[in-house]
Structure 1
Amino acid sequence: MSYVLNDPAAFADESTDGFVAAHRSLVRRVPGGVARTTAVPEGHVAVVIGGGSGHYPAFGGLVGAGLADAAVLGNVFASPSAQQIYTVAKAVATEAGVLLSYGNYAGDVLNFDQAEQRLIAEGIPTRTVRVTDDIYSASSDERQKRRGIAGDLAVFRAAAWAAEQGLDLDAVAAVAARANERTRSMGVAFSGCTLPGATEPLFTVPEGQMAVGMGIHGEPGIGVQPLPTAKQLGELFVEALLAELPDGVTSVDGARLAVILNGLGSVKAEELFVIYATVSTELERAGATIVDPEVGEYATSFEMAGVSLTLLWLDDELESAWTAPAYAPAYRKGAVATGDTELLTDDDAAAETETIAAAATPEAAEAGRTARDVIVAIRDMIDREADELGRLDSIAGDGDHGIGMKRGTVAAARAAEAAADAGAGAGTVLALAGDAWADKAGGTSGALWGLALRAAGDVIGDTEAPSAHTVAEAVEAARAGIQNFGKAVVGDKTLVDSLVPFSDGLTARANEGAALAVAWAGAADDATRAAAATADLLPRMGRARPHMEKSLGTPDPGAISLALAMHAAASVLNHTTAQKEES
């Protein structure tokens, strides 16, 4: 557990502030994360990495010469928002473009893809390389679905080296992608981790047992087996990783390997060295040559007691990248040349602000206040249900759904209140609430709720009070946006399983002539029934997918939270209707 904290909700921001204060000569604060204090040289590709907080030294500790130019830092165990990614990338972008690289998790994919599209639309060439090194998270036939763990370091090193050679964006992306294709990792855990402010770990490991194939966000292992000796663990690591050779590698004998033995938080250096003694012996016995091994903490999970082993199968170019000098707050190798470079400060990347325009009519402004009340009601509901949503999420996921929803709804309500106070219509209230939700919540749910609210706001607009038909069209636009971007369909065990019945039910009732409050309440009931039925489904997307059997019998937390939110909104609409009838 975390013993040192103030407000758990502010933990990530306060940690970043302290990190920057401790390394002012190397990193500066930019909106959404950190960047080098030196400017990216003209004509060089900027390498931007990122992910959720709680994994130090990933990701901020890997910003520096020979490594990343900037890191986007999301909330604890939650992907950064698209806005954060965009602002960090803009802070370091050059005319040569930006390479984005991160671990392959659903929320990160959604948010980084949105940011990439926005950067490209503004004329900034952008490419992405996702890290997929965890062999236990998907089969070799579905390597593109694997998640990224400590292999991030190998891929980031390759990308940064290529950029510092002055290669163009396509070439930098190609080197990073080749590093990813030749990187394999697996991890084990002896205990779970606990989020700041929480009293219970996200998962537990039975006494005398070891979880195999766990993630770095508190996801439980794929399997459990008796706790081995250090020698047996080292042999297990090597045997599993040598069983899957990358494409183009025909034999272990004669191969050159970069090796990363990573501690996840509570396993100390001396213990890692005991394991590494076996790892090095076994690899050399198989005929491999180890090049510049790294033994330490590179991708952690708070106080999780766990270890992972990563192998990068080197070629000449990747070996040059792996052995090149680097100087970052948490990773240093060799001697980095220094020269006359421009030093930047925190003030060199200011956040953008948005002016709120008043609604076109008094009726539209009244609709804006109703939209505000809906967002506030959803916030209050999530505040009451956050612990239960987190419990549901911890069964097969990482347990942060309630926390993420709470962060998102608090920010959304604050933005909605400011917009409504300025006289904005419902369209602007919903759009700004969605942007704030996505920015502060991060993760998959943050991205999807933000997208949905903005899509709905675009349909409703600010010129008049929306009818039931217009609101149904807005919800349908939100549904289409979520499915088009997130790719989930009914049956995947996601919030889509309750959103689609809600949208269909609302549209059907509006077409039958029902008033908005009546149509919405009925559709909310449809969503609730559909959300409960997800208990019988196996997840086909997201972090719960590798643990699908564990989630059987438990409803999807995203579907449940959406249904609860729709009922909270129904209460507001019923109350508003009653007030109008009384007047």
Structure 2
Amino acid sequence: MSYLLNDPATFAEESVDGFLAAHRRLVRRVPGGVARASATPENQVAVVIGGGSGHYPAFAGLVGAGLAHAAALGNVFASPSAQQIYTVAKSVATDAGVLLSYGNYAGDVLNFDLAEQRLRAEGIPCRTVRVTDDIFSAPPEERDKRRGIAGDLAVFRVAAWASEQGMDLDAVVDLARRANQRTRSFGVAFSGCTLPGATEPLFTVPVGQMAVGMGIHGEPGIAMRPMPSARELGGLFVEGLLNELFDGVMNARGARVGVILNGLGSVKSEELFVIFATIVAELDLAGVTVVDPEVGEFATSFEMAGVSLTLIWLDDDLEAAWTSPAYSAAYRKGAVAESNTPAVADQVIDQTYSVEVAGSEASAAAGSTARDVIEAIRVVIHGQVLELGRLDSVAGDGDHGIGMQRGSRAAADEASAAVSAGAGAGTVLCRAGDAWANKAGGTSGALWGAGLRAAGERIGDQLRPGADVVAAAVDAARDIVQSMGGASVGDKTLVDALVPFTLGLTARIDNGETLAVAWSRAAEDATAAAVATADLLPRVGRARPHMEKSLGSPDPGAISLALAMTAAAAVFTEASLRKEES
């Protein structure tokens, strides 16, 4: 796939720039995403959606009357950071509160939950509805683990309609949850997609085959089936969705459904219409009435050749919402009344850097070492970005290398700026962590950011930390990573390398080894543990639905953690040698 781009690293940001330039009458820039051009009406619940880039019209194209009030936009296939989500929600919040709604992916859950906690702490009422419509990503008894795909549109429409009817936050949440409970999707792919700047697709489908149950982030399918005709695919879709009715409905006959036939990138309108003819005929045969169907692109995955079918089983309220007017950059239905709320200017992101000077020269000296460690991590990640992406594409979405590259680069820049401002080690690490989380997004971005901040808070800015304090800081980072991510040793995540590194470091320092020696040997422990994850099956995260595919391949998060700790070891060893020479 050839992309028209300037720099793969800035592709998502520049795409948003162009989107805003094209739709100035409808949307405005806010830090972390986009919002309706007009202010949220007083006492109206603000519906805030979001997710990674690469899925247009989700999510920026679904901001407008009858749809979302704002969208937080992450980088390519990476969730927006907690900071982005928070600032986007703040920009449109009213006293009535905020509803956060998004597809159910680990990185999105982690970052949206952090943003919700921050909003609530500031007195802004905030609730969440996660979309879980993909029937192939988890069995019915584990619906809360399912992914959100094109069913996002149905849930967003219902939530926005409820908000614009003047319902309070509880009522908006209840109706959005009802919509999610009654929404089911089934997707297939005929080829994978390629990330901007990459040379290979995230997955391939053998000629004459079809991947069933793929994800919109380039996750490979759950199973392979022979390539069907359009008529056979339409029948397969309907049969699959009618076999899983929502709770309390035993027979589809007499039901009314909203329908979304979604092209994932390179399957275009004429092909979709051919498939849709069969879908309508099959639903008619089953006694199901189709209401206001949508055929087109609503949740894409770059140039993936794929299609998904979504059914939302309607009741009176849901049908009123589904058929209501809407007007956004990418979705328009009926006639929308002109807004009587004032337009709001773009919000400029303040790039001014300020930091309190460290409490001691010793801590400032340690801050320089912390900066060197983060710079070393940036360098090694940059050199391994393609390999980390390859490892991630085995059973995930292939963006781990790019995300780590973005995060480490932002952290290194922020650490350097903090040192130049005279910051101590604690502030250097905290600022670097915040920058990492904000720029990387996704699960790894949030965890690395939180880990660095936890370490910085433990070290502080008053003294040059000894080896025991450094070990305690690493353990604080481990603790927050495990508590936030919910992973344990054996789940095939970065925790499988982080825990042995932490235990090894602490034990060796307790036995009197120097920081440089203890860190180097602990890094060896982390590397061995990371390599050993090849024998594990993932129990959490995006790779979980494809666990067998990852057997024999190590976890990219564990590998990148081991690489980072090894790079840091070289910095501590060099610093120790300089100290001996002086």
**1:18 Cα shift?**
0.3
Distance 1:144-1:351 versus aligned 2 partners, 3 A rule: farther
Q: Which residue of 1 aligns with 2:555?
A: 556
Residue number in structure 2 paired with 1:420:
419
Q: Secondary structure at the match of 1:225?
A: strand
- Alignment length (residue pairs): 582
Please tell me the residue identity of whatever aligns with 2:276: Y
Partner of 2:122: 122
Q: Report the Cα offset of residue 494 of structure 1.
A: 0.2
Could you tell me whether the CA contact under 8 Å between 2:38 and 2:339 is conserved in 1? no
Structure 2 counterpart of 1:392 = 391
Write the deviation string for residues 182-204 of structure 1: whole angstroms up to 9, x where unpaired.
Answer: 00001000111000111111110
Q: How does 1:100-119 map to 2 (within 5 A)?
A: 100-119=100-119
CA distance in 2 between partners of 1:225 and 1:254 (Å): 32
CA 467–483 in structure 1, closer or farther in 2 if over 3 Å, else same: same
Instruction: Give the corresponding residue for 1:444.
Output: 443
Matched, 1:578 2:577: yes
| SS class of match (1:6) | coil
**Structure 1 residue 248, shift from structure 2 partner:** 2.3
Which residue of structure 1 lines up, in the alignment, with residue 28 of structure 2? Answer: 28
3-state SS of paired residue (1:434): helix
Cα deviation for residue 352 of structure 1 reads 7.6
**Is the Cα contact below 8 Å between 1:87 and 1:351 reproduced in 2?**
no
Distance 1:466 1:439 in 2: 27
In the alignment, the residues of structure 2 paired with residue 510 and residue 405 of structure 1 have an alpha-carbon distance, to the nearest angstrom, of 29
The residue number in structure 1 matching 2:537 is 538
Query: Could you tell me which residue of structure 2 aligns to residue 382 of structure 1?
Result: 381
Name the CA distance, whole Å, in 1 between partners of 2:104 and 2:37: 28
Q: In the alignment, which residue of structure 2 is the partner of 1:217? A: 217
Secondary structure of the residue aligned to 2:191 is coil
Q: Which residue matches 1:63?
A: 63
How many Å apart are 1:505 and its aligned residue? Answer: 0.8
* Matching residue of 1:356: 355
Correspondences of 1:217-296 after superposition (within 5 Å): 217-296=217-296
Tell me which amino acid in the other structure corresponds to 1:204.
T
Q: Please tell me whether residue 159 in structure 1 is matched to residue 159 in structure 2.
A: yes
Counterpart in the other structure of 1:78:
78
Structure 2 counterpart of 1:402, which letter? G
Instruction: Answer yes or no: is the 8 Å Cα contact 2:47–2:160 preserved in 1.
Output: yes
Aligned Cα root-mean-square deviation (Å): 0.9
Alignment partners' CA distance in 1, 2:161 and 2:349: 29
Q: Does 1:53 align with 2:53?
A: yes
Whether contact under 8 Å (1:2, 1:195) holds in the other structure is no
How far the C-alpha of 1:250 sits from its partner, in A, is 2.6
Tell me the CA shift for residue 361 of structure 1.
1.4
Aligned amino acid, residue 507 of structure 1: T
| Contact kept in structure 1, 2:36 and 2:70, CA below 8 Å | yes
Give the alignment's TM-score, normalised by structure 1.
Answer: 0.99
Which residue does the alignment assign to 1:138? 138
Give CA-to-partner distance per residue, 1:278-332, whole Å, 9 cap, x none: 0010011100000000000000001100000000000111001100000000000
List per-residue Cα deviations over 1:334-364 (Å, max 9, x = no partner): 00011432111103x6548562112111111
Letter in 1 for 2:139: S
Query: 2:497–2:561: 8 Å Cα contact kept in structure 1?
Result: yes
> Which SS does the other structure have where 1:190 is aligned?
strand
SS at match of 1:220: coil
**In the alignment, what sits opposite 1:370?**
369
Q: Which amino acid aligns with 2:191?
A: S
CA contact (8 A) 2:40 2:341 kept: no
2:298 matched residue in structure 1: 298
SS at the partner of 2:75? strand
Please say if residues 50 and 101 of structure 1, whose CA atoms lie closer than 8 Å, have aligned partners that are also in contact: yes
Q: Which runs of 5+ in 1 are unaligned?
A: none
> 5+ unaligned residues in a row in structure 2: which ranges?
none
What CA deviation, in whole Å up to 9, does each residue of 1:52-95 have, x standing for no partner? 00000000000000000000110000000001001100100111
Supply the AA of the counterpart residue of 1:504: L
Q: 1:119-177 CA deviation, whole Å, 9 max, x = no partner?
A: 11011110000000000000001000000000000000011001111111111111111
Task: Supply the distance in 2 between the matched residues of 1:525 and 1:275 (Cα, whole angstroms).
Answer: 55
The 2-side partners of 1:332 and 1:396 are apart by 36
**Paired AA for residue 221 in structure 1:** G
CA distance in structure 1 between the partners assigned to 2:558 and 2:393 by the alignment? 15
Whether 1:471 and 2:470 are equivalent positions in the alignment is: yes
Letter in 2 for 1:54: G
The verdict on how the C-alpha distance between 1:25 and 1:425 changes in structure 2, with shifts beyond 3 A counting, is same
Paired position in structure 2 for 1:509: 508
The answer as to 2:454 corresponding to 1:459 is no
Show the counterpart of 2:527. 528
Match of 1:96 in 2: 96
Q: Deviations over 1:509-529 (max 9, x none)?
A: 111111111111111111111
